Each structure stands twice: as C-alpha cells, then as structure tokens.
Structure 1
Amino acid sequence: MNTRAAELGMTRTRFITPNGLTYGQGPHDTTSARDLAKLSVVLCKMPAALKFTSAKTYTFRPGPKSVNLVNHNRLLSSFKGCDGLKTGWTVAADASMITTAREGEARVIAVVLGCDSPQGAKAAQRVRDQMADRLMAQGLVRLALLEVEKAKLHALPAGLPPWRPPPR
C-alpha cells in the first residue's frame, strides 16, 4: 500500500495497518487531506468504486444469511450529485469524511478530517457533514465560475461587429 501511495504522489502518507485503525502505542497510519484527495481522484475514475460508495444500502450474500450494510454518508440523500466516497470515525481521528459530487462534467472532492464536538461523536459527524456539504457547494460554484472565465476567453473582443451567418 505504501508503494502505491508513493506512486500516486501521496508524500505525507504512511500505512501501518490495512484498515486505518490505531492499535496500542506503536506507530500508526498517517496521511493528509491532500493525499486523501489524490487517492480519491483515482477512485473516482473507477466506476465499480463509485457503484459501491453511492449505494445507500448494500446487501451481501442475499438469502437467509444476508448482511445488510447502510451507508453513513448522509450527503448521498441531501446533496444533489453526491456519489461517495467514505465516512469514518475513530477515537484517534475523530469524525472524518471524503465525499464527492458530480454536476455535468464537473466533479468536486471534499476531504474533512478531525471533526470533534463536546456533544459527542454524533454531533461531530453532523459538523463533518455540514463542512463537507459547504466545501462541495463552494467547489461546484468555483468550477462554474471557471467555465464562465473560459467562455470569456473565447468571446469576441469589444468593438467587433457580432458574427452573423452568411446569407443563403
């Protein structure tokens, strides 16, 4: 995992465990929001990954011994275009989230780490969700503004007559 992280340019990431959980006093996983965003860009290019992360529920082993999982990403229901990616909470890391949304061809990724609240884990998760929602909304607005700026680059300079199709 560390080799692949390095290949992706994740320079502040070091994996110790495969699940990200902290055990005991020894070394533990480290990463940064930027590195997680780099990983998320790669994941968003994988339709199979988005298929799972966008599902509000998922059933493994359908039948009498089925296991039903519920996605804790509330933004899947409340943020238009949200299609993933990962929520989490641990004692060591507090509430964290990587979320992504798509609007047309534009995609935004928001990484929120270390949300805590004196009211407990559920309150911290609400704060995390609000922050991710705000970041994605701002990101989509900024992408839309960039598109306007690109369109301006292709606009005719002032003073030229407007283009008209040739007469038939």
Structure 2
Amino acid sequence: MKRLLVFVVVISFCVLNLAGYATARAIAGKKGAPARQSKEAEPPCKSFIVVEAQGGKMIDGSNINERRAPASITKLMVAYVVMGKLATGGIKLTDKVTISKEASKIGGSQVYLKEGEVFTLEDLMKAMMVASGNDAAYAISEYVAGSKDEMVNLMNAQAKALGLADTEFHSVHGLPPAKGEKEDMTSCSDLAVLARELLKNPRILEWTSIQNDTFRDGKFVLTNTNKLLGKFAGADGLKTGYYSQTGFNIVATARRGDMRFIAVVMGSPTGKIRDSFAMEKLQKAFAQYRMMNVVKKGEVIDQDVFLVDGKYRKMKGVTEKSFLYPMEVDKRGAITREILLPERIKGEIKEGQRLGELVVKLNGQVIGKVNIVSPVYVPKANLFTRFIRRLGLNI
C-alpha cells in the first residue's frame, strides 16, 4: 500500500513538471514571436473633392477622377435636364403628370406611386430631391423626355456638354443594375461640376434644403436623406446615394456669408462616416479660406482707348462684372492685374461693348479674367470731324 502511494505521488510530480515546462515554453514563444500587426483602419471614403462653388477652385481632394457608381446621386442629372426644359418653356412645374404602370413598379427608396395617380411636376420633383423617390424619378423622366431611355440619352448628352469625361448614365434613379445591365458611373470631379451648374438655379436649393415635407395631400411624409441639414451650419443641399456595392455617397454644399463650398464624398463604409467626413472637410474649408473681392463690377480702368471715328476722342472702359476669389487666410500671395486693351478702336461704340480684358494673376498664375466694356454709347463723329482727324488735326 505504501509502495502504491509513493508511486502515485511520483507520477503526479512528473505530470505537474511537464505541464509547467509546456506553459513556460508557450510563454517564451509568445515573447519571442513578433507582435501581430494591427489591422489598418478603413479609410473614410474611396474618393472625395472639395471645391469653392462660384469659381470652382479645388480646395482638397483625393482620387477625384476615380469612376464610381453614384447610386441615387444620379437623380441630380435628372434634375439638371428638368431645369433646362423649364428654362426653355417646354414644361412647367404646374404640369400634371399621370403615373404609369412602369413607374409604379420601381422599387428601392420610393413614395409608393400608384398607376393612374396624378401629381404636379413640382410635387414629383420634391419627392425625388427630398426623399430620393426612385418611382418619382422614373415618372418625371417619362413625362419630360417621353420615356426612361430617352431621358438617359438626354442625361448623357448633358454630361458630354458639361465636359463630364468620367460620367456615363444607364438609369434615371441610380439603383443597382439588374443582370446584363450596366452601372451608372461618374467621379467626384464630375459631380462637383454638375453641382456648380445646378446651384445656378435657386429652385434646386429650395427643394434640397427641405428637411421634412408632406406628399399626397399630407398623407405621406417626405424626409430628406441628407442628414447634414440642421446639423452643419449653412448646409442646404444637395443629394445622397447608397447601395451596398458602391458604399455611401454624398454631394453636400453649404454657404456661410459670401462663401459656398461643395464637398463630394464617395465610397464611405457607413453613412455616419460619410457625413462626418464631409462636415470635417467643409468646416476646414470655411476656416482656412476667405473670399477676396479682387475686381469690382463697374470699376474704371485707368487706361485710355482712342476712338478713331467716335464723337469723343478717347474713353476709359469699366469692368463688366465682379471677380471674387477664395484666398487662404495665412497664405495671401501677390495678386497682380494685367490690362489688355487695344490702342485704338474704329466705328461707333455701343454701351456694354467689349473693349478688352483684365487678367488677374496670383503669384504669376492666371486665376481669372474679366471683360472691360464701354460704359456708354459713343456715336460716330460727323464726316467733317472725321476728315479733319485723318489729316492729323486733333479735334
């Protein structure tokens, strides 16, 4: 019995020593092994750009020409086509639009249009721009262009006219393509250009700045998908877009005082990250830049132009318009102005006639040009006066 007890004790001692040895080896192995590299943080987006809205100066950006699917931001081009048709008088916002069977069947984000329902074009524009209604975009396209396919043709024609080299549309709503269909494609750079053009029409911001509204006689609530509204000071547009394959996108704009910036963010992993990144970039732009009034409209150019045939011998031109330029607060460079005017001009001079050009440069680089025009009408001098002048007499 005693021998058995001794044997058990010896065996237990050996097992404990072996376990301790194994543990020690494992710990030593961990200490000696290189530390596993932590997973790199996912970037906030795949591409982005920030531009000053009036002149288009690029403030910041990355992968600005990378082609990506815009998702519902596609509807901005639908809006651009509509605004063009409105400008020519071909359609009116009060026009009545009857919903087709095809429009009623469009899925995704929608306002649940029913076949045979009738809405004004303006109601449908709000449904598209505020609540991102895919069915509304389809119904608008059918009414304005005659069909969805013809609207796509118009959208691509406008993209070409605007010089949007990275852009190609295949839908009017931006939904993921079905099997065998092509994806809508664009870039941050192209969307910034489109946004600048849209901002020339005040009606666009009237719609995109709406946080909540009603539709279908108050029975349906329109909620804006742009969460920067009411959250970021000065934000009043423009459009968001998302589906899983392309990520979260936004074309955001905000105005403070005399400055407006546009931020385009594409391919963010979440809506929250997208919005935070857009706000961060807009805030930085507002903090770093101030608008400088480089040229004032109607400013007299202190250089005479001799009028060969005019009633008056000479005149000074004025600037046709103002020229504002965003300048970095702590990096104000040397702005110079070059006057380009002919020495003499023949014939009568009409009021507002272009005489020459004022070229504005920053550190030697051209940043803008403003026409120099005549402030008044100058008729031709009579025949006798012109004859005497040709003889070299000053009259």
Q: TM-score, normalised by structure 1?
A: 0.78
Q: Which residue of 2 aligns with 1:53?
A: 208
> In the aligned structure 2, how far is the partner of 1:98 from the partner of 1:53?
11
Tell me how many residue pairs correspond in the alignment: 145
Q: CA deviation at 1:72?
A: 2.3
Is the counterpart of residue 134 in structure 1 residue 280 in structure 2? yes
1:73-113 Cα offsets, whole Å, 9 max, x none, are 22111111000111121122111111000011211000010
Which range is displaced more, 8-17 or 20-29?
A: 20-29
Q: Which residue of 2 aligns with 1:7?
A: 161
SS at match of 1:27: coil
Which runs of no fewer than 5 residues in structure 2 stay unpaired? 1-154, 291-325, 337-395
User: Which of 87, 100, 104 lines up with 2:253 in the alignment?
Assistant: 100
Is the counterpart of residue 146 in structure 1 residue 327 in structure 2? yes
Bigger radius of gyration: 2
SS at match of 1:100: strand
More strand by share: 2
Classify 1:67/1:11 alpha carbon distance in 2 versus 1 (closer, same or farther; 3 Å). Answer: same
Q: TM-score, normalised by structure 2?
A: 0.35
Is the counterpart of residue 19 in structure 1 residue 200 in structure 2? no
> In the aligned structure 1, how far is the partner of 2:178 from the partner of 2:216?
34
Percent of aligned pairs with the same amino acid: 37
> In the aligned structure 2, how far is the partner of 1:136 from the partner of 1:89?
21
Classify 1:102/1:151 alpha carbon distance in 2 versus 1 (closer, same or farther; 3 Å). Answer: farther
Q: Which amino acid aligns with 1:139?
A: A
Q: Which amino acid aligns with 1:59?
A: T
Q: C-alpha root-mean-square deviation of aligned residues, in Å?
A: 2.1
Which runs of no fewer than 5 residues in structure 1 stay unpaired? 117-123, 155-168
SS at match of 2:182: coil
Q: Which residue of 1 aligns with 2:263?
A: 110
